[in-house]
């Protein structure tokens, strides 16, 4: 069977889950929504390439792809089987007027001429229909899964300054084996609040589960899909930092996360309902009260289990949780597929950060923390800057500039005057006059650099003489000096005396004086 087409990031994640987390093929396939054969094929490629995790983790995406697929597989091409009918699609289409199994089978064969014949097609659908509606009872092992979600019923706090009633969110996390529950209020459901709630939940449990099961909300899943959901980049980073995986529940399948659905209901009954007559003026005050009620909830004996959540947590989940990482997770917001402009800068929140000029017109990703901006190209970090939120400004690393741009950047008025003084006093005086004549000194840089080129062409002595003549005639540009040198006027002597004024006209009776016009 042909393997699915994977990105290099997915391939690296398969290797991480197998070699670092020690997960089974089936668990990896379920996590990434891919087939078992695809997992096996990737691991076989890695084995043939003699790869291990330390090597694969440090390789660039290009190097890893070349290492795995740079040469043809020794096993040769695999045979493809006939495509399996989509029974869910068949069932939904049959509800439409006039649609029959025979019509759907004809449409199926148009897409897949080598597909199943009508009898087998109907048998496959019939078997699926018999099992439709059955619910598989989930068996939760200790430390295996943490189910997370937001409450649909929103609590409120009061703004102490204005008295405005503000709706907030209630985040709920429930461990699968023990039902041990964590809850807190946050301002929003946005990514920074979503990630921070996970961090505080892990700290509350004192460890990390093997997998986290969220709903397919936008803060956690960027591409909702039953088979291959796209995990939000920062959320994915959180999972890697805490050595866990994200297993989003299928869209519109609440049974996939029944634990947290029940946990949310419990939180609404035993927390929100208990606080309905109380008023809170800050999130901190509200969460302090929630923490008190959580202690009561987790200590309450559950009728079904004849034990409290806290007791079951100590027996089942707590011993199996992985330790918390020693370093805290640093939240980073991602800007994906930013195009490098012609000035080798990218636009991040209306501020411009430089990248190596060789990446002109390439697509890069930017990761923003509270203090830094990191820029990545194909998974490799190519630039890092201090964060600057001033709009319209530029942050430029000179190492990212072409050599010619760096040389231009190094010029300053004092350096230009110092260079001119090595030619002679008249050259220095003309450079000072050019810089002073412009509204901004940098506008005179090009003229001064032009004089530098004239010194290489005509020599220092001729340039000094030309600048002396230029000063005498009040010249203030490169073009004047260049013209003097081209026509050899630098070799002509300067007039020693100032020009005499023209003599006044003689008095005459036909000449009218200025008083005539008054």
Q: Are residues 242 and 187 in the same domain?
A: yes
Q: What is the pLDDT of residue 178?
A: 86
Which among 93-102, 142-151, 413-422 has the top mean pLDDT? Answer: 142-151
Give dist(CA 485, CA 466) in Å, integer.
6
Q: What is the pLDDT of residue 224?
A: 65
pLDDT digits (tens, 9 = 90+) for 423-474: 889 888 888 888 888 766 666 777 787 888 888 888 888 888 888 888 888 8
Q: What is the pLDDT of residue 291?
A: 93
**Which of 402, 422, 452 lies at the terminal end of a domain, its last residue?**
402
Which among 2-11, 136-145, 279-288 has the top mean pLDDT? Answer: 279-288
Q: What is the phi-psi region of residue 149: left when phi exceeds 0, alpha when psi lies from -120 to 50, beta otherwise?
A: beta
Q: Are residues 111 and 196 in the same domain?
A: no
Indicate whether 264 belongs to any domain: yes
430 closest CA partner among 487, 485, 480, 499: 480
Indicate whether 79 belongs to any domain: no
> Per residue, what are the HEC states of 254-288?
HHHHHHHHHHHHHHHHHHHCCCCCCCCCCHHHHHH
User: Taking the alpha carbons of 30, 36, 38, 40 in that order, is the dihedral positive or negative?
Assistant: positive
Q: Are residues 203 and 244 in the same domain?
A: yes
Contact status, residue 295 vs residue 157, Cβ threshold 8 Å: no
Q: What is the pLDDT of residue 497?
A: 44
Q: Are residues 160 and 306 in the same domain?
A: yes
Give dist(CA 250, CA 248) in Å, integer.
6
Q: Which of 211-225, 255-269, 387-401 has the lowest mean pLDDT?
A: 255-269
Q: Are residues 174 and 254 in the same domain?
A: yes
**Which of 288, 320, 352 lies at the terminal end of a domain, its last residue?**
320
Give dist(CA 168, CA 163) in Å, integer.
15
Q: Are residues 377 and 415 in the same domain?
A: no
Q: Of all residues in the chain, what percent carry a pLDDT higher than 90?
A: 14
Indicate whether 368 belongs to any domain: yes
240 membership: H or E segment, kind and range: helix 233-241
256 closest CA partner among 135, 341, 349, 347: 135
> Is a pLDDT exceeding 70 seen at residue 518?
no
Q: Are residues 222 and 267 in the same domain?
A: yes
Q: Are residues 398 and 415 in the same domain?
A: no
Q: Are residues 203 and 289 in the same domain?
A: yes
Give dist(CA 444, CA 134) in Å, integer.
81
**Which of 69, 102, 122 lies at the terminal end of a domain, its last residue?**
69
Q: What angle do CA 287, 183, 294 make, to 5 degrees?
A: 80
Indicate whether 474 belongs to any domain: yes
Indicate whether 467 belongs to any domain: yes
Please state the domain count of the chain: 5
421 or 3: whose pLDDT is higher? Answer: 421
Distance (Å) of CA 497 to CA 134, 484, 501: 113, 20, 12
Q: Are residues 293 and 166 in the same domain?
A: yes
Q: Which of 105-109, 263-267, 501-505 has the lowest mean pLDDT?
A: 501-505
Strands 301-302 and 345-348: unpaired
Indicate whether 78 belongs to any domain: no
Assign 221 to helix, strand or coil: strand
Confidence of residue 504 (pLDDT cuts 50, 70, 90): low
Average pLDDT over residues 397-402: 82
> Is a pLDDT exceeding 70 seen at residue 72?
no
Helices (H) and strands (E) in the chain, counts: 20, 18
Give dist(CA 441, CA 214) in Å, integer.
59
pTM of the model: 0.52
Indicate whether 344 belongs to any domain: yes
Distance (Å) of CA 21 to CA 15, 160, 290: 9, 48, 34
Indicate whether 1 belongs to any domain: no
Contact status, residue 256 vs residue 213, Cβ threshold 8 Å: yes
Provide the CA 44 distance to its chain's centre, in angstroms.
Answer: 32
pLDDT digits (tens, 9 = 90+) for 305-334: 788 889 989 988 898 899 999 998 888 778
Provide the CA 469 distance to its chain's centre, in angstroms.
Answer: 60
Query: Chain-wide mean pLDDT for the chain?
Result: 81
The two three-digit tokens of residue 281, written as one number: 């003026």
Distance (Å) of CA 87 to CA 105, 127, 372: 11, 10, 50
351 membership: H or E segment, kind and range: strand 351-354
Contact status, residue 364 vs residue 346, Cβ threshold 8 Å: yes
Q: Are residues 257 and 120 in the same domain?
A: no
Q: 92: domain range?
A: 87-131
Q: What is the pLDDT of residue 323?
A: 93
Q: Of all residues in the chain, what percent carry a pLDDT higher than 70?
A: 83
384 phi and psi angles, rounded to 5 deg: -145, 135
Give dist(CA 287, CA 269) in Å, integer.
16
Cβ-proximal residues to 254 (8 Å cutoff; 6+ apart), any chain: 261
Which among 71-75, 292-296, 394-398, 484-488 has the top mean pLDDT? Answer: 292-296
Q: What is the pLDDT of residue 120?
A: 87
The two three-digit tokens of residue 348, written as one number: 């991040």
CATH code: domain of residue 263? 3.30.420.10
Question: Exposure string (b/e) for 135-168, b if CB count within 10 Å is 16 or more?
Answer: eeeeebebbbbbbbbbbeeebebeeeeeeeeeeb
> Is a pLDDT exceeding 60 seen at residue 11?
yes
Q: Are residues 108 and 189 in the same domain?
A: no
Cβ-proximal residues to 476 (8 Å cutoff; 6+ apart), any chain: 433, 434, 437
């Amino acid at each position: 069977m042909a393997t699915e087409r994977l990105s290099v990031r997915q391939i690296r994640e398969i290797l991480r889950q197998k070699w670092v987390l020690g997960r089974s093929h089936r668990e990896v396939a379920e996590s990434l929504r891919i087939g078992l054969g695809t997992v096996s094929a990737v691991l076989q490629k890695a084995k043939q390439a003699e790869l291990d995790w330390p090597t694969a983790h440090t390789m660039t995406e290009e190097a890893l792809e070349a290492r795995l697929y740079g040469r043809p597989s020794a096993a040769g091409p695999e045979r493809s089987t006939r495509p399996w009918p989509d029974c869910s699609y068949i069932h939904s289409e049959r509800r439409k007027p006039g649609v029959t199994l025979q019509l759907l089978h004809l449409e199926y064969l148009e897409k897949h001429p080598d597909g199943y014949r009508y009898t087998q097609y109907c048998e496959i659908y019939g078997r699926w229909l018999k099992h439709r509606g059955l619910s598989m009872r989930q068996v939760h092992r200790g430390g295996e899964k943490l189910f997370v979600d937001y409450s649909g019923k929103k609590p409120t706090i009061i703004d102490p300054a204005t008295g405005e009633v503000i709706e907030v969110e209630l985040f709920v996390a429930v461990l699968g084996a023990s039902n041990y529950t964590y809850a807190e209020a946050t301002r929003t459901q946005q990514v920074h609040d979503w990630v921070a709630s996970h961090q505080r939940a892990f700290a509350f449990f004192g460890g990390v589960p093997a997998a986290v099961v969220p709903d397919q909300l936008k803060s956690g899943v960027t591409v909702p899909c039953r088979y291959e959901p796209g995990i939000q980049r920062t959320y994915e980073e959180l999972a890697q930092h805490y050595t866990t995986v994200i297993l989003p529940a299928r869209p519109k399948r609440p049974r996939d996360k029944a634990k947290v659905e029940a946990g949310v209901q419990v939180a609404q009954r035993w927390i929100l309902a208990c606080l309905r007559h109380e008023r809170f003026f800050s999130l901190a005050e509200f969460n302090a009260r929630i923490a008190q009620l959580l202690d009561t909830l987790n200590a309450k004996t559950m009728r079904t289990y004849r034990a409290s959540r806290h007791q079951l947590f100590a027996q089942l989940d707590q011993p199996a949780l992985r330790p918390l990482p020693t370093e805290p997770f640093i939240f980073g917001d991602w800007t994906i597929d930013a195009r490098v402009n012609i000035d080798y800068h990218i636009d991040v929140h209306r501020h411009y950060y430089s990248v190596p000029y060789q990446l002109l017109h390439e697509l890069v990703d930017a990761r923003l923390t509270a203090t830094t901006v990191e820029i990545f190209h194909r998974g490799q970090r190519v630039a890092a800057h201090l964060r600057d939120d001033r709009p319209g400004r530029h942050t430029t690393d000179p190492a990212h500039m072409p050599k010619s741009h760096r040389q231009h950047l190094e010029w300053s008025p004092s350096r230009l005057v110092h260079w001119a003084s090595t030619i002679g006093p008249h050259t220095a005086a003309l450079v000072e006059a050019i810089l002073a004549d412009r509204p901004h000194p940098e506008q005179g840089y090009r003229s001064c650099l032009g004089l530098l080129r004239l010194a290489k062409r005509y020599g220092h002595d001729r340039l000094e003489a030309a600048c002396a003549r230029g000063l005498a005639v009040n010249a203030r540009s490169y073009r004047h000096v260049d013209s003097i040198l081209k026509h050899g006027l630098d070799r002509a002597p300067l007039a020693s005396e100032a020009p005499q004024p023209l003599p006044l006209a003689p008095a005459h009776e036909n000449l009218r004086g200025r008083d005539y016009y008054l």
